[in-house]
Structure 1
């Protein structure tokens, strides 16, 4: 029986993606009909799990008319939601592709600022939606005003209910987790540049990345550490060792959504009690499928399944 999955998105967005014949300053840019999708890290993780045949509940902070629109978009995709009132108006973001050269310009809004009383409301919603068989996924940017120690506070709440926490984060929140290890954190994922920033040195080889990830395990930062290496796949370390999963060769159309697709596929496999290295393989296959799609689209399930057998795992 698969574990219940709950994803958390504190700073969701309604994503607009369009194209223009050319992008230049000055004249009006006539754009194509936009593709409109619900967005934000945790939301995209839940959407990816839905695409892959599973189900995750998306816990979302919403506000105003844009928040209501976001919930409608999620309902149309069949993603169950738990909504709680966030401050202000839910943000919107836009990406525009220049048709002359295929370059993509992404305009990402910061989202409404949170106050001290907003965080307890979010944690109450998490508590009410979590039990001992829940995999809780925190993914995406934190809104302005939310302290860098929020993932650590969330870990305490999740641990108190016997659940497991998966965090995909960056910046001050990532550094805080690394500097102040927490026993309740089960999986911590980061991108390659984030890993190098945290390590304070380049990580040119898979072995370098594995050594760094293992050092975080030794410090007690998390039970499982994942570091993405871009075109060179991802490295996973746990107390049982380290593994590398290599991307199958695919044509890259857009990298948007690859990380969220990875986390979705990894979590879905973990919910089915797969071994961590097998979950890594599922994640890398889904990320590879995602880069083959346009704009904000996530992993295609048929393509992901086809790439699974081409994704190689090596113990380091």
Structure 2
């Protein structure tokens, strides 16, 4: 099995709670909160563990909230490498409104990084990049990180014959638009991010496949995956394109679906599965995730059961 490293530069302590109604003015009495370690790469590692895989999670943490995060991580049993962040680890808050089932999410920015902080982090990342392995960079960049950090990480990975899987937004999208990121193994975008990058609407699965394939042919990545929500996900290579349908399941929360997809996809890839199978297993994990509450991720039994409900077809 190919070793996997996940990188979370801007983790969070996720706080989930609920209240009868969300409205301005009065104090809103909430239920007992649940705390979880959060951030894209961490969620991928947690979901991979749930699905029966293993990865090393590299996490940047600092301050008192960083101590809380470290304790939460210790309770998961995940293999973790913590590097020092230059400030307080952020929090995120998700509140369910009981009357409507709506979820309100409040996301904070995280600490500011300097060039010296970044250089130190790059040095520590280089120490744990697995030879011939897969590296997953998932989640937002913290303030101060360069837009083209994924390109710098591609260069680092190449020294170890490792391949980079990128699932991010914001700053990295701007670098993609400017043509400053190339050589990825896999790029994953959700539908809104894809339309932002394309600067046009992508109303059909074929539109998404055409755009994904244009990114591949432009050298951005060997494989591009575009998520289309309930319609499923597109995977494109230079010559081939596939669509995996999402399972028809009750949706309790869409939070964590993308990270669960990356976990299922990466685990399958690390096991040597063909790309259509990786796509299907990612889609089954994402479908399982939307069945769980708040920021909970996929559950293995659901992901395995839903595999047949996420068929793959050429497009």
Instruction: Give TM class, smaller chain.
Output: over 0.9
- The answer on whether the counterparts of 1:158 and 1:184 sit within 8 Å (CA) in structure 2 is no
**1:291 and 2:290 correspond:** yes
How far apart are residue 172 of structure 1 and its match? Answer: 3.0
- The answer on whether the counterparts of 1:9 and 1:61 sit within 8 Å (CA) in structure 2 is yes
Deviation string 1:198-223 (CA, Å, 9 cap, x unpaired) is 11211111111111111111111100
Q: How does 1:8-157 map to 2 (within 5 A)?
A: 8-157=7-156
TM-score, normalised to structure 2, is 0.97
Aligned pairs, number? 315
Quick one: distance in 1 between partners of 2:268 and 2:121?
Answer: 27
- The answer on whether the counterparts of 1:110 and 1:144 sit within 8 Å (CA) in structure 2 is yes
Quick one: distance in 2 between partners of 1:178 and 1:6?
Answer: 26
- The answer on whether the counterparts of 1:178 and 1:221 sit within 8 Å (CA) in structure 2 is no
Residue in structure 2 matched with residue 197 of structure 1 by the alignment: 196
- The answer on whether the counterparts of 2:166 and 2:188 sit within 8 Å (CA) in structure 1 is yes
TM-score, normalised to structure 1, is 0.97
Which shows bigger deviation, 186-195 or 196-205? Answer: 196-205
Q: For 2:247, what is the secondary structure of its paired residue?
A: coil
**1:213 and 2:212 correspond:** yes
How far apart are residue 27 of structure 1 and its match? Answer: 1.5
Q: For 1:223, what is the secondary structure of its paired residue?
A: strand
Residue in structure 2 matched with residue 164 of structure 1 by the alignment: 163
Quick one: distance in 2 between partners of 1:177 and 1:52?
Answer: 31
- The answer on whether the counterparts of 2:253 and 2:291 sit within 8 Å (CA) in structure 1 is yes
Quick one: distance in 2 between partners of 1:133 and 1:70?
Answer: 30
**Gap runs ≥5 in structure 2:** none
CA RMSD of aligned residues (A): 1.1
Q: For 2:197, what is the secondary structure of its paired residue?
A: helix
Deviation string 1:15-58 (CA, Å, 9 cap, x unpaired) is 00001122222221111111110000000000000100111111
Quick one: distance in 1 between partners of 2:144 and 2:180?
Answer: 23
- The answer on whether the counterparts of 2:10 and 2:39 sit within 8 Å (CA) in structure 1 is yes
Residue in structure 2 matched with residue 173 of structure 1 by the alignment: 172
Quick one: distance in 1 between partners of 2:119 and 2:223?
Answer: 28
Q: How does 1:204-283 map to 2 (within 5 A)?
A: 204-283=203-282
Q: For 2:115, what is the secondary structure of its paired residue?
A: coil
Q: For 1:84, what is the secondary structure of its paired residue?
A: strand
How far apart are residue 178 of structure 1 and its match? Answer: 4.8
Quick one: distance in 2 between partners of 1:184 and 1:201?
Answer: 24
**Runs of at least 4 residues off by over 6 Å:** none
How far apart are residue 182 of structure 1 and its match? Answer: 5.1
- The answer on whether the counterparts of 1:133 and 1:162 sit within 8 Å (CA) in structure 2 is yes
Q: For 2:73, what is the secondary structure of its paired residue?
A: helix
